[in-house]
Structure 1
Amino acid sequence: MRNNESRLYIGLMSGTSMDGVDAALVDFSKQKPHVAGIESAQIAIDLRASLMALNSSGADELHTAALAANALMRLYAQAVNALLAKTGLKPQDIRAIGAHGQTVRHRPQMFDGTGYTIQLCNPSLLAELTGIDVVADLRSRDVAAGGQGAPLAPFFHRAWFAQESTVGVLNIGGISNLTVLQSDGNTLGFDCGPGNALMDFWIHKHGGQSFDAGGAWGAGGQIISALLEQMLEEPYFALPYPKSTGRDLFNPEWLAKHLANFADAKPQDIQRTLLELTASSIATCASSYEKQSNQTLKELIVCGGGAFNTALMQRLQALLPETNVISSAQRGLPPQDVEAVAFAWLAKQCVERVALPLTSVTGARGARILGGIYPA
């Protein structure tokens, strides 16, 4: 029999970097969540290629998307079953899984005024494979209510990272997003721009690597000032928050357009410029908030893959000298685990019918319960 009083949830996240699946088992029985187990699984090259291709129009998209969603659910189930085996738990011990799915299109408020956001997911298959209730489709209700559908993690960030002073939580995945946890209890959140997506693409193209370890290759190059200035003229950077973006905008085609006049540039110098683009767009977001609010971010807590990019972390500290830039590990949660834990937390809010106050983060018309429940 399922334990409907269980406070154990599993969060599953495959982010815009598309490098793997992170799974977190979280115990919410105490005042502060406790991470009881972590598991990860790599996304196979062919599945990653399919997911990447679905970021833009192509042949037989519906067929490709359906099969990619099925394959991703099998990977999700693999991570869940590994967690259960590691912790000695059974499916009936878990209240629910929070499954993010893989974002392949994100166009809120566009075309017809409502727009859409698509996370590839087959929650029915995941429930079938794991024997656990699944909470999925966590973004579309926000979009239906006039919101951006992203970011959603800020609500969890407050539960875990809030302090007496105003602090920022910065997630650097494929896209970078900033949460501001104000000392008065209010929460803001918005996407800054590209995180690792363009840097990962460039080093894979020129070095065959999935990412620039520690930012070492980029750090050895020189900033191409004219290219950086041209890229920073992208209108998205000047939009007021709340705002969100994704690979629909910051993708290889966007980069190719900006590189058209820099054919003789050294690849390593372009990597250094892309690193500076990420750092500069983040620092501009943080500085703009400080100017508008007349508040200083005492601390910037960094999570996601970008927290392991030493060169990027150093540039953020240099650009934000009055802010202490640290890894989320220094606040009790490893950078690679934050988003998976966040989606376990979001699943709990859905199961308990908690409406989240979305307006200040996504621009939605009011508080809404996010997600749909797919029973095992």
Structure 2
Amino acid sequence: MGQADLRFGSSSGVAVAKSKAATEEEAVADIAEQLPSDDTALVLVFLSPHYDPHRFIAETAARFADTLVCGCTTAGELAPDGWDENSVVALAFSRQDFSVAHRPILNLQNFRVEDGRRIGAELRQELRANSDVDGGNPFGLVLIDGLCRREEAVMSALYASLDDIPVVGGSAGDGLRFEKTFVFFDGEAHTNAALLILLNTSLPFRVFKCDNFEPRTQKMVVTEADIENRTVKELNAEPAAQEYSRVVGIMDAKLDPFSFASHPVLVRVGGSYYARSIQRVEPDGSLHFFCAIDEGMVLTAATSRSLVGATRDMFAETENQIGDVSLYIGFECLFRRLDAEQHQLARDMSELYRRHRVVGFQTYGEQFGSMHVNQTFTGVAIGRRPA
């Protein structure tokens, strides 16, 4: 059985629950017991692939029949008691503090930019027309199939239509299997789909992005690539895996998820650097990326700052801006966890998240504004209602 971390109260509009029950039915019952039974605008669930997603979401939607239920599968859970696996985490948003509008995006392989812009504009207008929150401000959450390879197109189109509403989110995960990920809405688990949720709230909030990498001088140019499949065949006119290993300095190491987690590459966009993570080495020595790539793209080798220190600084900066934070809704790259494990920092990071009340999931990619990024921690901090 889990333990409820937050209830709707005088200062916080979000309640949180966690379960590690053995079956889907038991986990749903456990979550329902912990969350408020009424006055709920949205239940958001993040589900380990340890559970059957179809059975879980059908049971959850039936249990919360009068409430919007959304969510996705994970590559790990950010639970009230720290990092976890093989669990389900749920958040309930109160009607007093949040008005919610949502819209699914289906058939992502045929996604068109004009469709995304239309969906974003319509949903923005719907939220404005139907919001019951006085004097609120909106933010958006995006959940998307983590294996669809369409995140950049979706985020660019949606963000352009949202009139500067801040948006964050995560790409659904499947542990370390990379086989199939699911997004939940309308009582079903969907692949090849995304979900845009807009929330209007009178509570203070701040969206955030945190990473711990800085650029080095070494560069790699993508000289041959399969753009559609996010696969780089050559870097600097050399076989991709071989040249990557040479430039980042891991010539003697086997390339595996831990190697990629410790040695991401960066892309410069608009004067800022964003991490691009490599998912795997293909049998022919090419590199398969989590983010979109293109021929001619310049990749910069990265050096690491303290993972714990950079994250702690982000928490401090957020609390300086909006005051006491009731919780952080977080979307964290799976490779940040692997990097922490590689450097024996997992316990420190988990405890840091527990102390700061971080709830969310570990992802196959993170969304921030119009960007799809990797090896990053994004999300929204929710402050407390003024006394």
TM-score range, shorter chain: under 0.3
Structure with the higher fraction of residues in helix conformation: 1
The TM-score, its normalising length taken from structure 2, stands at: 0.27
The TM-score, its normalising length taken from structure 1, stands at: 0.28
